[in-house]
Amino acid sequence: MITLHRRTNSAQLSKTKLPAVKCEAATRISIRTSRNRSRSPNVEISQFQVNNIIPLSQALSRSLLSSETLSYTPNPLSNHSILPEFRAKMIDWMIEVTSAFKCHKAVFFLAVKIMDKFFKVHQQALSSQLLHIIGVCCMFIASKFSDTRHRIRLGALREKIAHKKFTVSEILITEKLILKKLGFIVNLSTCYDFLQSLYEEFKIPNVIQVTAELICRISQIYYKHLEFKQSDIALSSVIIAARSLRQDNLCEKMIPAKGKDKITEEVVEKLSRDVDKYAEKFPGYTSVFDFFNVTITSRKPGPLFVFCDIELEQDQNKLLNSPNFL
């Protein structure tokens, strides 16, 4: 049931008597707004509040961490007849679809997380034949939640993405099933969300951002990486990207700040090894390279990717030639 609340206008509000609140004594700062000075009330802020103001990036990080438990989905296929290889193929296709339709980058990561969360909470066994429509609907849900400019429309979803394999009714019924199983909670924390928080907090250069995001996309395909927290995948991806471009001092700033010395190095080691073996492990899953115009290199040590984008290639060479520049 949806409850609608009638908005109270200013005349009604002025007649409403508010209860008096007794405040403890504290040092206070009075701020008067410049507009309409004669009528503007004083805004009182305690000294305690002033001293405890934190940057927006840190506030965002704390908020993401507080909701990360809800997004943790280790071994979600344990109850189902769906192999990890089928999941990997679906995710590679999700990269293709969300890139071809110019969806916001957050859509891909959220679609994967919604799919894994659905598998995790659905107790009855699901067959691999249902994977296609589930993946389609997860992208549909993620697009509606995370994208305002290039939202996937139902008609395009059925005709161009699903190629008319499902009816509109089947899509809507499956979408409803997914949402109900998730309790209509789709605002799940993803490694992409944590990447954005790290970028803002540590002012990370664009070429390291792009490299870290590519690592995160590759990580989504590995089923065993679901044992890692999204925050650890994000932090480890930035560390791997920074080290590949000889910016170790950036890592020295981030790891202590996040208080994850031991666990971060463990995830970094596993993630780095799996990125190196990706082409060998998943030879046919090339969407992450095809749609981002990059190739993975075998040169170690050194950059992980060769960029076709001239600006990214120049930025990469600049960092390589200036160790610990950041």
Residue 139 sits at the vertex; the CA angle it makes with 92 and 289, to the nearest 5 degrees, is: 25
Q: Domain check: are 222 and 306 in the same one?
A: yes
Q: Domain check: are 174 and 196 in the same one?
A: no
Mean per-residue pLDDT over the chain, rounded: 84
The string over 26-63, giving b where at least 16 C-beta atoms fall within 10 Å of a residue's C-beta and e elsewhere, is eeeeeeeeeeeeeeeeeeeeeeeeeeeeeeebeebbee
Structure token digits, residue 241 = 């990207």
pLDDT at 49: 52
Q: Domain check: are 296 and 197 in the same one?
A: yes
- In CATH, what number is assigned to the domain containing residue 168? 1.10.472.10
Pick from 125, 153, 181: which residue ends a domain? Answer: 181
Tell me if 182 sits within 8 A of 141, measured CB to CB.
no
Q: How far apart (Å, rounded) are the C-alpha atoms in residues 126 and 77?
A: 9
Q: Domain check: are 195 and 298 in the same one?
A: yes
pLDDT at 16 over 50: no
pLDDT at 57: 58
258 domain-assigned: yes
Greatest alpha-carbon span in the chain: 73
Q: Domain check: are 148 and 211 in the same one?
A: no
Q: How many CB atoms lie within 10 A of CB 282?
A: 18
At residue 157, φ and ψ (nearest 5 deg) are -60, -45
165 domain-assigned: yes
- In CATH, what number is assigned to the domain containing residue 235? 1.10.472
Q: Domain check: are 268 and 169 in the same one?
A: no
DSSP secondary structure, 201-231, as one string: HHT--HHHHHHHHHHHHHHHH-GGGGGS-HH
pLDDT at 259 over 80: no
pLDDT at 84 over 50: yes
Residue range 65-84: average pLDDT? 91
Q: Domain check: are 227 and 119 in the same one?
A: no
The structural domain count of the chain equals 2
Q: Domain check: are 126 and 205 in the same one?
A: no
Q: Domain check: are 164 and 203 in the same one?
A: no
Domain span at 102? 73-181
Q: Domain check: are 208 and 253 in the same one?
A: yes
The pLDDT confidence band at residue 24, using thresholds 50, 70 and 90, is very low
**154-202 pLDDT per residue, tens:** 999 999 999 999 999 999 999 999 999 999 999 999 999 999 999 988 9
- Tell me if the bond preceding 205 is cis, omega within 30° of 0: no
pLDDT at 142: 97
Q: Domain check: are 130 and 105 in the same one?
A: yes
Pick from 181, 201, 234: which residue ends a domain? Answer: 181
pLDDT at 302: 85
